[in-house]
Amino acid sequence: MDDIRTVHAVVIDHKAVLRSPGHAHDGIADFLRWLDERDISFVLLTTDPVDAEAALAAAGLPAPALHLSRDDIPGTPNRGSGAWLKEVADRLELRANQTVFVGTSEWDWRTGINAGVVYIHARWANHVRNNKGMITLSAGEPAHVGELLEHFFLEEPRWAFARDDARDFKIRSLLPPNVRFPGNNGTFTLQDIFTRGETVPVGDQDARDILMLCLLSSAYLDGTLPHRSLFCVYPSSSPGRVSAQLAGFLTGAKVMVGSYYREDLLERVTQAPDTSLERVKRNRGQMSTADISIAAQARTVRVNPRYRGRLTGKTVIVFDDFTTEGTSIEWARILLSKAGAAQVIALTVGKYGSRHTNYGLRLGTWRDSTSRHPSITIDPYTVSNLTATDFVSAVFPGTYGPGPEHSLTATMAHFATAAQNTG
């Protein structure tokens, strides 16, 4: 199972299974049967040692594949420690990202995020409510957990574009740019949401949330959503702004696997050309004198000085709506690496083209047609007065394809139809 990048075990707190001794919550029996049909292990957690098989049998439920109580966890930690879910993964010989945790309390939530495991809050256990500060995936009934699993965690991640290189850098892009999906009011494109800022309903869901959850769940299954990483959004062309659509989702999603969102980590200091609009102009044959090279990013974007010394050894995940030639995310990589980040990962919703351009600062003394130049150095906390000739570049292909276009179309149709049937 180790080479299959899907969820293979669902860990459930006993209070989400039994509403009282001998009585199961409505829908739990059907959900456990659904898991068994898909060869997904059911793991039960209890604080105190119990005869789990007998307790579940009394409620007409099957025995779990694994039952753990606090006495089974090395060091006997309280709930909240990630050691609980580490022990589950070790015993089932799975990676942490091949599991999800369904819980009922703030301490369950902390158990999940401290282990880097996706947490789903069981709202049907109605004697427990979300505590202040908990922002989680949630489900109103057990079948809704199955719905989340089926549409976001049971298919291997597919990317429109993916590339890893030796610079401790990865890029993952979810979809080609021009796909169309069904919504409540006809079809829509990625540009409708992320470029035009439209709110697109799909059933009772926001299409933005479906797309972003697919992006994050794919990165989770792929292993490119490391625990305790920092999330940030590459800034918009205007100072003080990032994509409202990306930021609006990440403000809550930062806790999906125990990461931290820092909206101000990268900041645009002065106005820059809107690269998307400039490329549209050029594709239409319209005149444009705007500089959209990586140098334009260097002259306007920096790491916020308040993070000086705080990025050493960190993994930083940079989100952007679209990438084409890679100038923005490559400048983010250069800045964050200079500021001490150990790894930079770029996650984008859309990808134009099938290639990525690696950029680097010129090192060592170099000569152009008129003079000699010293090695290029930068302070990542200050914008740099660089030109395109201060960089060296090389174009590289990555793996390229349609991404999860087909399965996401089915997901959008499912949510739209489900809302109509319950309306």
Same domain, 86 and 225: no
Residue 175: count other Cβ atoms within 10 Å of its Cβ: 25
Lowest mean pLDDT among 61-65, 299-303, 322-326, 361-365: 361-365
Residue 313: count other Cβ atoms within 10 Å of its Cβ: 8
pLDDT digit string (tens) for 13-50?
Answer: 999 999 999 999 999 999 999 999 999 999 999 999 99
Tell me what pLDDT residue 279 has.
Answer: 58
Strand partners, 319: 233, 347
Same domain, 297 and 350: yes
Same domain, 270 and 342: yes
With a threshold of 0.75, does the pTM exceed it?
yes
DSSP states of 217-235 = HHHHHHT-S-TTPEEEE--
Residue 205 has pLDDT above 80, yes or no: yes
pLDDT digit string (tens) for 180-192?
Answer: 999 998 999 999 9
In one-letter notation, the amino acid at residue 49 is P
Tell me what pLDDT residue 37 has.
Answer: 98
Same domain, 216 and 354: yes
DSSP states of 149-205 = HHHHTSS----SEEEEETTTEEEEEEE-TT-EEEETTEEEEHHHHHTS----EETTE
Residue 116 has pLDDT above 50, yes or no: yes
Residue 25 DSSP class: P
Domain count for the chain:
2
Same domain, 275 and 213: yes
Boundaries of domain holding 172: 161-405
Tell me what pLDDT residue 1 has.
Answer: 47
Confidence class for position 421, pLDDT limits 50, 70, 90 = low
In a domain, 72, yes or no: yes
Tell me what pLDDT residue 337 has.
Answer: 97
In a domain, 381, yes or no: yes
Same domain, 386 and 244: yes
pLDDT digit string (tens) for 10-19?
Answer: 999 999 999 9
Of 152, 181, 210, the one marking the end of a domain is 152
Same domain, 246 and 391: yes
Of 123, 152, 181, the one marking the end of a domain is 152
Same domain, 142 and 181: no
Same domain, 230 and 346: yes
Tokens of residue 43, six digits: 């793991």
Same domain, 270 and 371: yes
Tell me what pLDDT residue 375 has.
Answer: 80
Cα dist from 150 to 6, 144, 410, 413, whole Å: 10, 10, 11, 14
Tell me what pLDDT residue 368 has.
Answer: 64
In a domain, 423, yes or no: no
pLDDT digit string (tens) for 123-172?
Answer: 999 655 555 555 678 899 999 999 999 999 999 999 999 999 888 999 99
Lowest mean pLDDT among 140-144, 258-262, 405-409: 258-262
In a domain, 28, yes or no: yes
Of 152, 185, 203, the one marking the end of a domain is 152
In a domain, 415, yes or no: no
Strand partners, 211: none
Tell me what pLDDT residue 406 has.
Answer: 96
Residue spans of alpha helices (H) in 267-389: 275-283, 294-298, 327-338
d(CA 207, CA 211): 6
Residue 2 DSSP class: T
How large is the average pLDDT for residues 87-106? 96
Same domain, 171 and 210: yes
How much is the mean pLDDT over the chain?
A: 90
Lowest mean pLDDT among 213-222, 236-245, 331-340, 399-408: 236-245
Q: Are 404 and 155 in contact (CB under 8 A)?
A: yes
d(CA 196, CA 190): 9
3-state helix vs strand vs coil in the chain, percent to 5? 35, 25, 40
Same domain, 43 and 178: no
pLDDT digit string (tens) for 383-394?
Answer: 999 998 899 999
In a domain, 421, yes or no: no
More confident residue, 229 or 366: 229
Strand partners, 24: 18
pLDDT digit string (tens) for 303-344?
Answer: 999 999 999 999 999 999 999 989 999 999 999 999 999 999
CATH of the domain at 104: 3.40.50.1000
